[in-house]
Chain A
């Protein structure tokens, strides 16, 4: 199931985007929801502060976890930086890299999408533990 919403190019959209993911993912374990909320905040901040554009946030439950995408119309292809411990800034995308279970960037002519995946137990009725372990085992 996928939910998405557009947010204006306004610094207050960052908080609104966090609230949107929390409302959408309220049933996840708190540690997982907290981490997703943090990474959404970083990506939304990049859209409204650096790209200075509106953005669309989409959240999709997948069997392997939660896929989050933030799409804006900003130029370029952002890359994580590696600030030293006393450099105050430059950590946003690096935090996404460090704390997600996978991430990437897609570009079209007009848009840029930064996505990340956070592993989480599948939603829906619980399966017997043995069966679920067998289904998920790799």
Chain B
């Protein structure tokens, strides 16, 4: 369904740690055009049994509310979501929207 180029500005790679946590490493830009790509990867991680999902955000240069929606859905489905290394603006977005109680945000 995704048109040509949709999601091309976001890359997602998934690995599973020995403790069972899924680690999704993001790079690029996460918005309404690329959120479905992350949503699919996160759903796959949760479906395969990970109750803890870690999003590595150091390489993410942009995220808006379409990205927040994927993170929130993942937190709801998985139970525990960790956000690592968010940029200052992503951190501000999470704090301004009061979502610090939904995610564990690590520097």
Residue numbers of A with Cβ under 8 A of B are 11-12, 14-15, 18, 31, 34-35, 37-38, 41-42, 45, 49, 85-89, 91-92, 94-95, 98-99
Partner of B32, one of A11, A85, A87: A11
Known: A31-B88, A91-B65. Is A38-B33 also a contact (CB below 8 A)? no
CB distance from A42 to the nearest CB of B (A): 6
A41 touching B62, Cβ below 8 Å: yes
Residue of A nearest to B103 (CB): A85
Residues of A within 8 A of B21 (CB): none
A38 close to B6 (CB less than 8 A): no
Residues of A within 8 A of B33 (CB): 11-12, 14-15
Flag if B62 contacts A95 (CB, 8 Å): no
Closest approach, in angstroms, between the C-beta of B23 and any C-beta of chain A? 22
Query: Which one of A15, A49, A88, A99 contacts B92 once the chains associate, using CB atoms below 8 Å?
Result: A99
- From B5, B31, B99, B101, give the contact of A14 (CB < 8 A): B31
Contact of A45 among B64, B72, B88 (CB under 8 A): B64
Residue of B nearest to A13 (CB): B33
Contacts of A94 in B (CB 8 A): 97
Say whether B102 faces chain A, with CB atoms less than 8 Å apart. yes
Complex: A95 Cα to B3 Cα, angstroms: 28
Point out the residues of chain B lying under 8 angstroms from A95, CB to CB.
Answer: 64-65, 93, 96-97
- Do B99 and A38 touch (CB < 8 A)? no
Chain B residues engaging chain A, CB cutoff 8 angstroms = 3, 5-6, 9, 29, 31-33, 62, 64-66, 68-70, 72-73, 75-76, 87-89, 92-93, 96-99, 101-102
Q: Among A11, A18, A49, A86, point to the contact of B76 (Cβ < 8 A).
A: A86
Contact B96 A98 (CB under 8 A): yes
Q: Which single residue of chain A is at the shortest CB-CB distance from B6?
A: A11
New A-B pairs, 17, CB < 8 Å, besides A88-B72, A89-B65 = A11-B3, A15-B29, A18-B29, A18-B31, A34-B87, A35-B89, A41-B31, A41-B62, A45-B31, A45-B66, A85-B101, A85-B102, A87-B72, A91-B97, A92-B64, A92-B65, A98-B97
Question: Which of these, A12, A38, A87, A98, contacts B64 with CB under 8 Å?
Answer: A38
Residue of A nearest to B66 (CB): A45
Partner of B73 from the list A14, A37, A88, A91 (CB cut-off 8 Å) is A88
